[in-house]
Structure formats: C-alpha cells, structure tokens
Amino acid sequence: MRVTQIWRYPVKSVGGQQMAAADVTDLGVEGDRSWGIVDNETGNVLTGRREPRLLMASAILDDNGPIITVESDQEMRTSAELSVWLDRSVTLTPAGEVGGTYEDPQDYENDADWQSWQGPGGAWHDSARARVTLASLGTMGDWDPRRFRSNLILDGEGEDDLVDHRVTIGDAVMYVVKQIDRCVMVTRAQPGLDRDLDVLKTINRARGSMLAVGAVIITPGRVVEGDEVIPA
C-alpha cells in the first residue's frame, strides 16, 4: 500500500485541508485537531453532534492559527466571528498539553445527551490512543474519503491486518493499535457531500462497524504522497 492522500483537520469536527506532505509528531500529523471551539456556557468542546454546522465548514492552518471557511466563503479567525456565526458564545481554543478532566474540560466532552470521552493532551482526538488514522480506498469503496476524517488515505486494501504491528511510512514509524469504530457522523452532509444513511448501514453490515485503523507514533518523521506503507 502507498499513501495517496494526506489530510489535516486543524479544528475539532471541522473539515480539513489536503496536503502533499506532512510532518508527523508525537501528537500525529502536525496541527491535526490542535484547536477546538469551546462553548462558553458549558465549557465543552463543540462537536459535529452537538453543532452540525461545524461539518459544513473547513479549516486550514497558517502561522497565526486556524482560518475557518463556511459555506458562504466567509473566512473567520476570531472567537467573536465564530460566536456570531454559531449564534452562541464560543472561544477558539488550542488543545491543552495534558489530558483533560471533568473540572478542566479542554480535552473532554461530557454531556448527558451524548457519549463522554477523554482524549490525549495536545490534540482533540476522539481516542486516547490513536494519533494518526489510516484508511484504504479498498475498504472505503466509492465513498468520499472526507466522510471519515482519516489522515492518511492508502491505495489497495489491507490496513486491518496492520493492527498490532509497526509500520514505516516515509520517515515516520507508527504502531497500529486499533480499528476505528464508526458512528452516525459518517452519514452527515458535508460540503459537496449529501446525507447518506447507507454509509453506516453498509459499514455495520459488512465490516462490523469498523473502518480505518489508528496508530500511535514511535518515531516522528515526514510523510509524503506516494510513500510506501512498510510493515515491520
């Protein structure tokens, strides 16, 4: 398998940017999920479940932080602009250096209406273990890769066999720790993608709800489109 696409999602639950190359750090693709939009009333990081409008936006990073673009092509950088867009008081916040707690919810989502999770410090990933997610075109079929928010898109198929193995991709060495369990979010509309309930039904039926794998970083390094995935 080789890397065909590289994606970074700078802001939690907001669409991301495709890149020809990326540096992979201990936290994963540099800048990935490094910012979140915090609801000032609850102190929780907003997600696409709680605020579906996030799924219709996209973000890139520059030296001054994220630039978020919404459907009207309006670009926003500040918490004030985001508060007007979302009709609620929010703060665009970088992820903390350590894992969150209920009292310090930077890296924690807790709401009676939704599932609670606590992610690693430094990035708002949905898993305490997975730092980079890999998905192959062979397992995604005709679905648009953007639905699954994976960092590395691979040709062929066979990423499930990488679980519990080291892989070298470019200069980076990773350990694949788990398959990724999918939820209803993969069915939601995004820019250029309609709502499609069959996506999750098919994943549940054909793949036991799993699509893509997640890895932790052993050796940071640079990954470039076309790099081969080399299992240890």
3-state secondary structure at position 184: helix
Residue with token string 């669409």: 15
Average pLDDT over residues 147-176: 94
Tokens of 171: 């200069």
- Give yes or no for residue 151 having a pLDDT over 50: yes
The overall average pLDDT reported for the chain is 87
Per the DSSP assignment, residues forming a β-bridge with 136 are: 154
Task: Outline where 43-153 has alpha helix (H).
Answer: 79-86, 137-140
- Give yes or no for residue 98 having a pLDDT over 50: no
User: Which listed CATH number (2.70.98.60, 2.40.33.20, 3.40.50.720, 3.30.70.260) goes with 3-231?
Assistant: 2.40.33.20
Question: Using CA atoms, how far apart are residues 92 and 39, in angstroms rounded to an integer?
Answer: 9
| Phi, psi torsion values for 165, nearest 5 degrees | -130, 155
pLDDT confidence band for 103 (50 / 70 / 90): very low
pLDDT at 137: 83
DSSP string, 49-67: TT-GGGGG-EEEEETTEEE
- Give yes or no for residue 35 having a pLDDT over 70: yes
3-state secondary structure at position 128: coil
What is the pTM (predicted TM-score) of this model?
Answer: 0.88
- Cβ–Cβ under 8 Å, residues 30 and 133: no
Parallel, antiparallel or unpaired: strands 221-224 and 21-25: antiparallel
The pLDDT tens digits for 104-149 are: 444 444 444 444 555 556 777 766 567 899 999 888 878 999 999 9
With a CB cutoff of 8 Å and minimum separation 6, the contacts of 186 are: 147, 148, 199, 200, 203, 211
